[in-house]
Amino acid sequence: MTPRAYAAQYRQTAVSSAVLEASPHQLVALMFAGFRDRVQLATASLERGDTARKGQSITEAIAILGSLDGALDHEAGGNIATGLQSLYEYLQRRLVEANLHNDPAILREADALIAEVQSAWNAIAPAAPAP
């Protein structure tokens, strides 16, 4: 096994462990981080001319948006959940456009929009229970 393969295996194990131990709030935070990682990888892949990796990264980012959308609680979330659903649908459309037109500006826009939501989400993190 190559050093790169060992690193990838370690990374996957670390992600799996984080998911298994995460609270619902932390799972959503992990999805935001994963989305941003995929979009940034798509941007870097586009700049390197690696269209296959760009397409794969965008597909993965779109799948994460689908999971975020599916996690919305419209009953409890009301207008906020509706607004997030609209944002996720908009971003899915924009990512398809970015993929079709090889447009890094759209990828940067998607990253920036989710960064804002991610920041707000992290700001409302539930307090850790007292020991």
Structure-token match 């920041």, residue found = 119
pLDDT digits (tens, 9 = 90+) for 23-78: 889 999 999 999 999 999 999 999 999 999 999 999 999 999 999 999 999 999 99
Among residues 11, 15, 129, 124, the alpha carbon closest in space to that of 64 is found at: 15
Q: Where exactly are the structural domains of the chain? A: 24-123
The end-to-end CA distance of the chain, in Å, is: 43
One of 3.40.50.720, 3.40.140.10, 3.40.710.10, 1.20.120.340 is the CATH number of 24-123, namely 1.20.120.340
Q: What's the CA gap between 130 and 107, in Å, rounded? A: 41
Q: What's the CA gap between 65 and 107, in Å, rounded? A: 14
pLDDT digits (tens, 9 = 90+) for 80-95: 999 999 999 999 999 9
